[in-house]
Amino acid sequence: MSRFTAPIAEQIWDMKYRFKQADGTAIDKTVEDTWRRIAGSLASVEADPAAWEGKFYDALEDFKYLPAGRITAGAGTERSVTLFNCFVMGTIPDSMGGIFDMLKEAALTMQQGGGIGYDFSTIRPKGAGVKGVAADASGPLSFMDVWDSMCRTIMSAGSRRGAMMATMRCDHPDIEDFITAKSDAARLRMFNVSVLVTDPFMEAVKADKPWDLVFDGTVYRTVQARELWDAIMQSTYDYAEPGVIFIDRINAANNLNYVETIAATNPCGEQPLPPYGACLLGSINMARLVSDPFGKAAQLDEAALIDLVGTAVRMMDNVVDASRFPLEAQAREAAAKRRIGLGVTGLADALLMVGLRYGSDEAARQTDRWLHAIARAAYLASVDLAKEKGAFPLFDADKYLASGAMMQMDEDVRDAIREHGIRNALLTSIAPTGTISLYAGNVSSGIEPVFAYAYTRKVLQKDGSRTEEEVVDYAVQMWRDTFGDAELPDYFVNAQTLAPTDHVKMQAAAQKWVDSSISKTINCPEDISFEAFKDVYMQAWDTGCKGCTTYRPNDVTGSVLSVSEASEDAPQVDSGADVVYLSEPLDRPNELEGQTYKVKWPDSEHAIYITINDIVLNGHRRPFEVFINSKNMEHFAWTVALTRMISAVFRRGGDVSFVVEELKAVFDPRGGAWMDGKYIPSMLAAIGGVIERHMIATGFLEGEGMGLKSDPQAQVVNLDAPRGKACPSCGQFDMQMQEGCMTCASCGHSKCG
């Protein structure tokens, strides 16, 4: 029998984590093979691998411990990829050469599959003088645009786009431009952005005092702190960005504040890191550890939890030695501190199983107790590792015990660290777990509430027929299996029906025992007032959170799946959209209708000919394949590659208009050209323009720069049902803001990589 409890779980495994040859032939025949591959790889660095491989397999079995996606996909494959999910890069020098050195490092890191974070506060503001050059500085935002363009061109390992986080201090002279940068929907699309908010700034906000904007000791101008705070809030209210990071609080709570200063985080914000720091993530699946779920004796098996945490810590510590790193500086940083980020997923499901309403005072107290137990077990396991293998190289007992989260740790744990040292400087973090949660049977993500009790996912088969799959939350399915059609108890709540204050309450309860930070989205209703919205952030500050990320659906950000509190099932995604994910590419008919276009790039001897063929499904025409040809042999390799890649995307179905957007965004560093009165940044952009015009002419797109004219695969049935944005991977309208990141509920695609 399959270990998967839902079809989507097996599909996620097959698409993202199953080890396959280059031609698609599966090496991992079953998920047990995947667990065995990971266990063997992480045990290989032990002095006695055989003694640990079985223990590691037991932890992975039945999805009890879920290593982060990079580990699950890469461990034991011998591929040149990093097992670390993300990195904060080096401090950006305030010089042209240094800036572009950092750009090169970012490209190399994303090429191996790592998301990156950068603090752009170190670059002088726009208009500042540049010594030795008769010019003014262009400012950090202009260089962020360069980073953004670079990221668009790098397809990271595992077929995942690079993800980036940009931060800027609240006292930088360009902070106002940073706050509003993403109000332009076409700008900085590859970035998440967050403001580094300091303690003095929050004090100035509360007291309505003036606030200096400073760089390199020079005050550029003075603003009112409360007005600047309101500008941050207004942008977040309107565009869901920037996020807010309470950076002084993060540094004060850092166990390593005696050897490092943090100024940036990874793309989802749960891992504040020093220059060249890396996040090594994994999650305990709490939904798998509840005994007698929904019964009178329902409780979390804490003995099993403590044992599992100990094994997980050892496995994660071994990743430091087993992984490759894009840069030597990253390898040195990881080896010196051996920080790991063990977190949880399925918390909301576990609370449901023991009869607690997510967001209630009792649920917050229970979360505190469970996270405390995990933190104790993790620190004591790391002490045991220090006895066996040695403490992390920068360990200093007196300084370590007087810093950060160690100040509130239990005295017996502190005594053990004082006597034996500790292997890992930091141990806990709540990561985004959207994809691995689907892989584990659609358990609730991280510490988030259940997002939707159930929704319907449509899958197009090769013969053109459609099947419907109900995707049900893990705890809801368990309730159904136990009680049949009995109505869900009133303590079943979801992300849309919770008050924002309940979200913050749960984040604050978990934060107490998390030594890094938490990836969490506080869902706000569309009609929340601006004043009430600001109160959410002030509550996060007042209750000790290290940051705050909200999501308020509106015309700009897009709505998300809505859930009825009175109904077991969430309303389906707009069935009129019905843009579907193809389980397998469609077979090519013997004949297709198409057009051929000629593109003559200036200064090029030969023209390029682009043929676009369409397929007709349900009476609607959509692009099916592309052929690009040229007599210029210098173009041969990339035109063949582009032909194959675009055609492969087209044959997978869904909203493939993103191909146009990506091509049109490519710029040639040698310069573009003027064609038909418009500046085209590259030959690839010209090809994108041709494909776009073809899509408009055939009725697939509404117009230049616009989305689908009509769904080419279905009729509109219900125009009023709310829906999320279209997923760029599978095309379904299931994009949801979860754990600070836009994530597709259908295929697990994540904007954050």
267 token code pair: 């793309």
612 token code pair: 């676009």
- The DSSP result for 318-387, as a single string, is HHHHH-B-SSHHHHHHHHHH---EEEEE-HHHHHHHTT--TTSHHHHHHHHHHHHHHHHHHHHHHHHHHH
Nearest Cα to Cα of residue 194 among 223, 164, 150: 164
Nearest Cα to Cα of residue 68 among 44, 82, 85, 43: 85
- The DSSP result for 622-687, as a single string, is EEEEEEEEES-GGGHHHHHHHHHHHHHHHHT-S--THHHHHHHT---TT--EEETTEEES-HHHHH
Nearest Cα to Cα of residue 400 among 379, 377, 381: 379
Q: What angle do CA 722, 726, 728 make, to 5 degrees?
A: 165
Residues 264, 272 contacting (CB under 8 angstroms): yes
Cβ neighbour number for residue 465 with a 10 Å cutoff: 8
Nearest Cα to Cα of residue 315 among 76, 74, 52: 52
Residues 86, 117 contacting (CB under 8 angstroms): yes
465 token code pair: 């027929």
Which neighbouring-strand residues pair with 628?
Answer: 610
196 token code pair: 């580094």
Catalytic residues: 266, 268, 270
Residues 425, 278 contacting (CB under 8 angstroms): no
Rounded CA-CA distance 14/73 in Å is: 10
* Beta carbons within 8 Å of 636's beta carbon, 6+ residues apart: 630
Torsion, CA 12, CA 16, CA 18, CA 20, rounded to 10: 130
**Residue type present at position 470:** E
Rounded CA-CA distance 266/269 in Å is: 5
Helix/strand/coil (H/E/C) assignment for every residue in 200-248: HHHHHHHHCCEEEEEECCEEEEEEEHHHHHHHHHHHHHHHCCCEEEEHH
Q: How far separated are the first and last CA of the chain, in Å rounded?
A: 32
What value does the CA radius of gyration of the chain take, rounded to a whole number of Å? 26
Rounded CA-CA distance 201/229 in Å is: 9
**What sign does the dihedral 268-270-275-277 (CA atoms) show?**
negative
**What sign does the dihedral 211-215-219-221 (CA atoms) show?**
negative
Helix/strand/coil (H/E/C) assignment for every residue in 594-637: EEEEEECCCCCCCCEEEEEEEEEECCEEEEEEEEEEECCHHHHH
160: three-class secondary structure by DSSP: strand
DSSP letter assigned to residue 287: G
Burial of 726 (0-12, 13-18, 19+ CB in 10 A): buried
Alpha-carbon 29 to chain mean position? 28
Largest pairwise CA distance in the chain: 79
- Note if the bond before 242 is cis, omega within 30 degrees: yes
